[in-house]
Structure 1
């Protein structure tokens, strides 16, 4: 149909062939094939040239519309291929929201405002199912380093989120800038995590230091845990990502020998290729994670 449009616009088969870079016989053959397919004449001779029949004019108008749509589609595809447009569905855990997801999405929007990002909090296992079932493109989660092999999922390491000690202001250990984990062995503890990949690093580190923490109170989140610590109910370990809202009546100290750390991963569908917009978001998440590490240092 685009050849028909060229013939009608040029006024002759010869001129259309020259403009298209074809031979006149090739253009004539295409016109004959198109007329046979349409079942009606499309061109009529006028001296040395041709003009469209009513059917030819009709198809020429549609060819113009199709040409515009094709050009728009090619442009849109190029934008998508370059990562300047697209849609990324993200699932994340709460403490990653402010420290990783927010700065990463903000950076992505500044760089590529045409990329749409859908964000939603999700539990780790539910988020993995969504990624596997193609309802999400990426899920951020805490994962033990020895459990990063799951069928249909590829894990990309983003960050190491180290735990720090949280003490009541005025506590006898607050004068030390860095605590050995054994310094906390005889203290009452405030728990802030449910059993699983966030609590495990704490229990493993304490076990390596030769003791088990004495949890005297459990909290459902890090903000509540800080409140319990501030009230003098005990001490605790909280990952740095969980210290977004620092309670004014607690002090934070580094711990060592050993230092508990939890690993943050991005879970992607495997073996599906990473499309450009998702690749750009992963780069932004890595940059945000590097920024967190630099501030922590």
Structure 2
């Protein structure tokens, strides 16, 4: 096996035309250079240099290895520059998985911040509904995934979770509803109403059902919608009331009224999931900081 360092010694000798000149350039003694060349010739199984006056010149095998040493030197320099760019955040890629209802309110502004601060970083975005993104994080296909899970959910092997936001649900009522003029509603006041379901099976629906159960009832779903704008449309048409998370409200339909809810206050908890043992690159650090700033602009 040829030693790359000895090939660079050969390249210096070929470029300078003498062992002594190469030794001065490399900071070695002439004896050390000669020893390196002797080992390289044994590795190559061929004579690499021949005497030429007071200096040396390469044999055909010497010229061949010297050319490859130059190419390897350029590639190593490029590799080092690439590593420097990655460490500084000037290049690279960050892969983010997210669910639809945080796309506009959370992901878009955070990615915009990342692109302003690290314009050389490529961002790979992918929706995961209804797929569980945690296996992608665990095996390195994704750097960050946004998920909803209960605050007291058990740990997941190989994953660390960073809290982003407690996303409170709000009551959405038809504009003419008897409770529409109330500033704050108790959740139990909606117990006898027909409901527009706004969540598909999963942790978001679980958060709503758990809050309703704590208030002493199970919602009577008259019409099901797993899309928040459509749910608002059903409410506006008078088909029922609904609970929608703050980050999923977007533009509020003109024919509905949105009110805070308490006793209890339904909440879904949004987390950023990262691989536990993965190094935090500048790109991931900047994206995570941007997500936290957007999710909780007041820092609390």
When the two structures are superposed, what TM-score results if normalisation uses the length of structure 2?
Answer: 0.88
Tell me, in whole angstroms, the C-alpha distance in 2 between the residues paired with 1:59 and 1:111: 44
Mapping of residues 67-78 of structure 1, within 5 Å: 67-78=73-84
| SS at 1:123 equivalent | coil
Q: Is the 8 A contact 2:97 2:142 kept in 1?
A: yes
Residue 20 of structure 2 is aligned with which of 7, 14, 24?
A: 14
Shift of 1:278: 2.7
Q: In the alignment, is the contact (CA less than 8 A) between 1:83 and 1:280 conserved in 2?
A: no
Name the residue aligned to 2:125: 119
Cα contact 2:168–2:268 (8 A) shared by 1: yes
Matches of 1:105 and 1:193 in 2, distance apart? 26
Q: Summarize the alignment of residues 84-95 of structure 1 with structure 2, pairs less than 5 Å apart.
A: 84-95=90-101
Listed one character per residue, the Cα deviations across residues 30-77 of structure 1 (whole Å, up to 9, x for unaligned) are 111112222222222334322223332222222211111110011111
8 A contact 2:100–2:129 mirrored in 1:
no
For 1:58 and 1:271, how far apart are their aligned partners in 2? 44
Residue number in structure 1 paired with 2:156: 150
Distance 1:126 1:93 in 2: 10
Structure-2 residue corresponding to 1:100: 106
- Superposition TM-score, scaled by structure 1 size: 0.89
Shift of 1:111: 1.7
CA–CA separation in structure 1 for the residues paired with 2:296 and 2:153: 23
Matched, 1:289 2:295: yes
Q: 1:121: how far off?
A: 1.4
In 2 relative to 1, CA 129–262 (structure 1 residues): closer, same or farther, beyond 3 Å?
same
More off after superposition, 12-21 vs 134-143 = 134-143
Aligned 8 A contact 1:107 1:284 in 2: yes
Segments of structure 2 that go 5 or more residues without pairing to the other structure are: 1-6
**What is the distance in 2 between the residues matched to 1:248 and 1:45?**
92
| Deviation of 1:3 (Å) | 1.1
> CA separation in 2, counterparts of 1:52 and 1:243?
75
Structure 1 consecutive aligned stretches of length 4 or more whose deviation exceeds 4 Å: none
Q: Following TM superposition, by how much is the alpha carbon of 1:276 offset from its aligned partner in structure 2, in angstroms?
A: 4.1
Distance, in Å, in 2 between the alignment partners of 1:48 and 1:99 is 75
Deviation string 1:227-270 (CA, Å, 9 cap, x unpaired) is 11101122211001111232221121222232211101122233
Q: Secondary structure at the match of 2:68?
A: helix
Q: Is the 8 A contact 2:199 2:205 kept in 1?
A: yes
- Alpha-carbon distance in structure 2 between the residues aligned to 1:69 and 1:175: 70
Gaps of 5+ in 1: none
Distance 1:160 1:211 in 2: 23
| Structure 1 equivalent of residue 229 of structure 2 | 223
Tell me, in whole angstroms, the C-alpha distance in 1 between the residues paired with 2:45 and 2:149: 65
Q: Secondary structure at the match of 2:202?
A: coil
